[in-house]
Structure 1
């Protein structure tokens, strides 16, 4: 485990050279994304942050923006409104960012919620959690890759369940559309595994960009209270059962933010960023080199060594072909 003291010591070294000068946070209106933004701004660096969120988040974000400007007047927070469960909206937001920026150093993806309850689809025909946790994230990544490639120490971080992949992924019904095939835990594993296989492919093809798929551990983000049906009996029972159990083990908002700031800036992952004297991270191919890093809640790299070779052989190509088919109209 990378200790919290080691993480804070690393983060104390962040300056205008080693921090991202332009960052895009998708889903940063609450939870891990919001905690990380606050930690980044509190370093005092000069940074421009595009904060992407839904319309209903605007008023709370106004207060958050005022708080951040007091903490660090050099930080610029640009509220970017959009419903990113819709791929057409995701494309519009990407085009807006590309029209304003020549580079992006950090793409931080956290939009999503626990998909417990009945299956519900967007107007574009995708299951909502799947669109947020996979398709929209990949569309943001593909659109912004040229800007990331032109940046110093660029990183893409997808916060979901890195290291929790499974070979049981359903390749015959990737979007879990068949009657009775959708379920909360199955969907979470499906989307997490899809994230990892596609991010690994993108990492192989873009060696100048560091990719991280991470698992945040227990953090009180309010994630279980979001979604299209947060008041369903299933969602209510799960909150009642799980929230009291996980609360004693949760990272505080401060520690979560600092741990993700470390992932955003440390050269422990891919060798670019704040100098790191500890053990270098090992990528998903088992190498201390560029690539995709599967990072657990202790900020350690996991290889998923029993799972990844099977997924590369049997799943990665099918998932990529399916993803290209879904995203093609929005690229």
Structure 2
């Protein structure tokens, strides 16, 4: 879970042609390039559009924090807050799919289990400890 005044958006952007594979060598990467070439030709999102989407996620009021914090750019009529990972509109934590929509019920159930069994709190505690280890201080 994120702090109540911060939004976290995990995005599955779809296939983005970045050029990363041009550095790979050998038979395995060569086969992968041939296999994925048709998929990339049909389904990839241009890198400019991917950047535009990220700016939208970062600035839109569609992805507000649970409470407090910045409101973002106002939404047009008929568009509300995205469904958060907790299954509620405006939950503060968002898992966004290819179409920029919220989390599916199966993922919501998984996350609910992780919260209930204490895993989410353990991850947050570990993250805070790492920030202290790396920076030497706690966030205020």
- State TM-score, norm by structure 2: 0.71
Report whether the alignment pairs 1:276 with 2:79.
Answer: no
- Paired residues of 2:62 and 2:90 also in contact (CA < 8 A): no
Matches for 1:131-280 after TM superposition, within 5 Å = 201=1, 203=2, 206-225=3-22, 230-270=24-64, 272-277=71-76, 278-280=79-81
Assess if the C-alpha contact under 8 Å between 1:220 and 1:247 holds in 2: no
Residue 330 (structure 1) aligned with residue 124 (structure 2): no
Per the alignment, residue 68 of structure 2 pairs with none
Q: Which structure has more RCO (C-alpha within 8 Å, separation ≥ 6)?
A: 2
Q: Once the 2 structures are TM-superposed, how far is the Cα of residue 276 of structure 1 from its aligned partner?
A: 0.6
Name which of 305, 315, 330 aligns with 2:119. Answer: 315
Displacement of 1:310 in angstroms is 2.4
Secondary structure of 2:17's counterpart equals coil
- With normalisation by structure 1, the TM-score equals 0.33
Aligned to 1:292: 93
CA separation of 1:324 and 1:280: change in aligned 2, threshold 3 A: closer
Length, aligned pairs only = 125
Cα distance in 2 for residues equivalent to 1:232 and 1:275 = 49
1-side partners of 2:6 and 2:112: how far apart? 22
Shift of 1:288: 1.9
**How far apart in 1 are the matches of 2:132 and 2:63?**
31
Residue segments in structure 2 that go unaligned for 5+ positions in a row: 66-70, 136-140
Q: Is contact 1:208–1:290 with CA below 8 Å preserved after alignment?
A: no
For residues 26 and 125 of structure 2, the distance between their equivalents in structure 1, rounded to whole angstroms, comes to: 35
Separation in 1, partners of 2:4, 2:91? 6
| Separation in 1, partners of 2:72, 2:125 | 33
Q: Structure 1: any 5+ residue segments left out of the alignment?
A: 1-200
Give the CA deviation at 1:210. 1.6
